[in-house]
Amino acid sequence: MSVDKQDVLDEIEKIVATKLVLLAPVDKAWQPSDFLPDMSRESWIEDVTEFRKASLCLSDELLVSMVGSTITEEALPSYQTSLNRMGGLADKTGISSNPWAKWSRGWAAEENRHGDLLNRYMMLTGRVDMRAVEVTIHHLIRNGFDPQNDHDPYNGLIYTSFQERATRLSHAKCAQLARKAGESALGKICITIAGDEARHEEAYTSFMRRVFEVDPAGAILAMHRMFIRTIKMPAHLMSDPDGADDVFAMFSRVAQSLGIYTFSDYVDIMEHLVETWGVAHLKGLTGEAAQAQESICRMPAYYRRRIASIEAKQSAQPVGKYPWIYRR
């Protein structure tokens, strides 16, 4: 039975309306200043000195990884644009009051804090070449972002469900490493951001779950399409301040080597989504959709067998010098 896309979009809007509660009310929401020295205090010099001292235990690799996350978060303008480019789901006026419009602005407002907080943290530690970081952010926003979702809302919701989980895992891992190194302030920052990503993940996953309920064939074909294309990291078009190195490859290798985001995590997320949306148990699919269902169910095991060789290949590549920390 063919499903009318407008009906599905209406269903998505309905579920979005019920999930707006996943956005924190502004008067209860955390803000970057809650985690940083208060520059209006008499003791600001001592406070900042203490703050900087605490960051000395962070390794260059962890800093590079944190900078990569900061840059990723800072390219928010590209992501919000993309969110409103999914056919049928849009904030048409910029102040529209339909659920999706409210969601996309509320989501962006929460995400905006991530880049702000990480950026200020990096700046205050004095450990990072902030100009180099800013130039990379500038390049990344100019280079753009293509989640390869063809403006299709199903593809887009699969992408966002995947990516919110990926960022949740990577921020949580950074928190763990920061604490282990002895930097509890950074640990608190990263785990707080991971908490936001977890709420966003819950929302996008539930939006897509509704699509699976009302248009299972369309949903499964979209999932297959996105998995075959592979889910690209949002910041994969980042470029080096002077264009010399592939900084994204460098960032990925460092994240892989520290276990912050690995190919194994990628496969875990794939498997998680297959289970979450009950792909194996969808009934009544025929033709192309049935083939896609079978293919998706085989994918996690297929990729899992390749984890060791892919990760070994990645870690064998030279990492080079880190442009964001004075080419050390």
Residues numbered 188-207 forming contacts with Fe ion, rule: CB under 5 A: 197, 200
Is 311 annotated in the active site?
no
Report CA 163 to chain centroid distance, whole Å.
4
Q: Is 111 in the site for Fe ion (CB under 5 A)?
A: yes
Which of these segments, 16-24, 114-122, 211-219, 239-247, binds Fe ion (CB under 5 A)?
114-122
Q: Give 109 or 285: the residue with its C-beta nearer to Fe ion.
A: 109
Residue 113 engages Fe ion in binding (rule: CB under 5 A) = no
SS3 of the chain: helix, strand, coil, percent, to 5: 70, 0, 30
Q: In the bound complex, what is the minimum distance in angstroms from residue 106's beta carbon to Fe ion?
A: 12
Catalytic residue check, 224: no
Among 196, 215, 240, 265, which one carries the catalytic annotation? 196
Please indicate whether residue 30 is annotated as part of the active site: yes
Task: Using the structure block, give the residue that is written with the tokens 């460098």.
Answer: 250
What region, left, alpha or beta, does residue 104 occupy, with left being phi > 0 and alpha being psi -120 to 50 degrees? alpha
CA distances to 67, 113, 308 from 132, rounded to whole Å, are: 10, 21, 34
Please, what is the minimum distance in Å from the beta carbon of residue 32 to Fe ion? 13
One of 13, 74, 197, 268 is an active-site residue; which one?
197
- DSSP per-residue string spanning 239-292: --TTS-S-HHHHHHHHHHHHTSS-HHHHHHHHHHHHHHTTGGG--S--HHHHHH
276 is catalytic: no
206 CB-near residues (< 8 Å, 6+ apart): 15, 19
Which of 72, 136, 160, 167 is flagged as catalytic?
Answer: 167
- State in angstroms the smallest separation of the CB of 16 from Fe ion: 16
321: which 2 tokens? 């010098």
Binding-site member from 105, 113, 114, 224 for Fe ion (CB under 5 A): 114
Q: Is 74 in the site for Fe ion (CB under 5 A)?
A: no
Residue count of the chain: 328
**Residue 111 catalytic?**
yes
Give the number of residues in contact with Fe ion, rule: CB under 5 A: 7
Q: Which residues bind Fe ion (CB under 5 A)?
A: 73, 111, 114, 164, 167, 197, 200
Active site residues: 30, 73, 111, 114, 164, 167, 196-197, 200
